[in-house]
Amino acid sequence: LGDLLKRREEEVEPRESPDREFVTLTLSQDGTLAAREPGKGRNPPSWHGAYFTGGSRWFRAHAGDLVISQIDLWKGCVAVIPAQYDQSIVTQEFPVYKVDTARLDPRYLALLLRSQYFQRAIRAITTGHSNRRRTQSEDFEDLRIFLPDLETQRVIAGLVEAKRGIVADAESDFRSLVRQVEGMMLGERDPTDLLS
């Protein structure tokens, strides 16, 4: 992978811009990126620079970059930064890589790294103990991958994205239906509205 990725180490010091609001990201095991909620758990009341404390190093991510979780990469915590999160920031626990897009589609790479085969391979190279096993950057960059031509990578990534969109729409429709049914059960809706 080291031939196809370059570690992006664009360090940011949020406290130097106390009035600026930053977008900080969290990464789930299914590869979903989301803005971290301010005021939730140990998060500050807002993500303005004034609320950041010392102890963590922050790095800027750009659209199209690959971001991984050093701790949970073996569980599938890998994603491509979408345009909506361009210029967002992540802690040092989430290394960011610029991808050589002339040879590799970042979406394909994220799919590959979330595959069962690579989750097992990555688990084998993690170091440490307990729940704090980490994938070291050098070991990650030494991974060897199967690389079909770029067009094939794009087609594969596109097919998966299309199906993911269908699933997301179906889940949204399902949640809407459940809310309507609950409204009917609580007497807030007329049952004939739902059944017609």
Taking only the tens of pLDDT, the chain with its 196 residues reads 999 999 999 999 999 999 999 999 999 988 899 999 887 777 888 889 988 887 889 999 999 999 999 998 988 899 999 999 999 999 999 999 999 999 999 999 999 999 999 999 998 998 887 667 789 999 999 999 989 999 999 999 999 999 988 998 999 999 999 999 999 889 888 888 777 7
DSSP 50: G
Position 54 scores a pLDDT of 79
d(CA 87, CA 43): 20
Token pair of 39 as six digits:
């005021």
Give the residues across from 80 on adjacent strands. 66
pLDDT value at residue 131? 67
Q: What stretches of the chain adopt beta strand conformation (E)?
A: 5-8, 11-12, 25-27, 33-35, 58-60, 66-68, 78-80, 89-91, 96-99
**Identity of the residue numbered 28:** S
Residues belonging to the chain: 196
- Residue 19 buriedness (CB in 10 A; 0-12 / 13-18 / 19+): exposed
Sequence-distant (≥ 6) Cβ neighbours of residue 58 within 8 angstroms = 11, 12, 13, 14, 22, 24, 52, 89, 90, 91, 92
